[in-house]
């Protein structure tokens, strides 16, 4: 377990860029945190670090998944039944891609044992990130 205290969005982006450099497919990163904690910003920074700063990275809140040549970014907030996870291609992504998952709790039974869990909480005006 590693803990990081980040004071602002710039420090969060720097952390996410450094974190991205350690990732290779296949791997799963489960992003845990309340609304507004920066899950999407961390995912966006990871994707842009790996696929280019000019990569457009919209939130997958309504599409559920966005794909970027070997990186899959899921937002499972709107998924109500775990059976839907197969339909959106989560298992395929887990087996093949760098898979970033926001709101991963509904997918707990599908996540591999080596999933990297990133917990993001408020810390003063910044964020506390715990990586397990």
| pLDDT tens digits, 67-90 | 999 999 999 999 999 999 999 999
pTM for the model: 0.96
3-class secondary structure, 83:
coil
Number of structural domains, the chain?
1
Q: What is the CATH number of the domain that holds 21?
A: 3.40.50.300
How far is it, in rounded angstroms, from Cα 121 to Cα 123?
6
- Domain that residue 84 falls in: 2-131
Residue among 75, 71, 131, 69 at smallest CA distance from 101 = 75
Q: What is the largest CA-CA distance in the chain?
A: 40
CB contact at 8 A, 96 and 26: yes
What pLDDT, on the 0 to 100 scale, is given for residue 59?
83
How far is it, in rounded angstroms, from Cα 125 to Cα 60?
26
3-class secondary structure, 114:
coil
**89: phi > 0 → left, psi -120 to 50 → alpha, else beta; which?**
left
What pLDDT, on the 0 to 100 scale, is given for residue 46?
98
What pLDDT, on the 0 to 100 scale, is given for residue 61?
78
């Amino acid at each position: 377990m590693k803990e990081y205290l980040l004071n602002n969005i710039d420090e969060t982006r720097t952390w996410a860029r450094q974190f991205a450099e350690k990732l290779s497919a296949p791997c799963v990163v489960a992003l845990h945190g309340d609304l507004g904690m920066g899950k999407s910003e961390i995912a966006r920074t990871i994707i842009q670090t790996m696929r280019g700063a000019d990569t457009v990275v919209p939130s997958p809140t309504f599409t559920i998944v966005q794909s970027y040549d070997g990186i899959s970014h899921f937002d499972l907030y709107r998924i109500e039944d775990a059976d839907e996870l197969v339909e959106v291609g989560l298992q395929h992504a887990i087996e093949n891609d760098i898979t970033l998952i926001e709101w991963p709790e509904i997918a707990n039974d599908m996540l591999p044992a080596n999933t990297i869990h990133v917990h993001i909480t408020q810390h003063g005006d910044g964020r506390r990130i715990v990586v397990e």
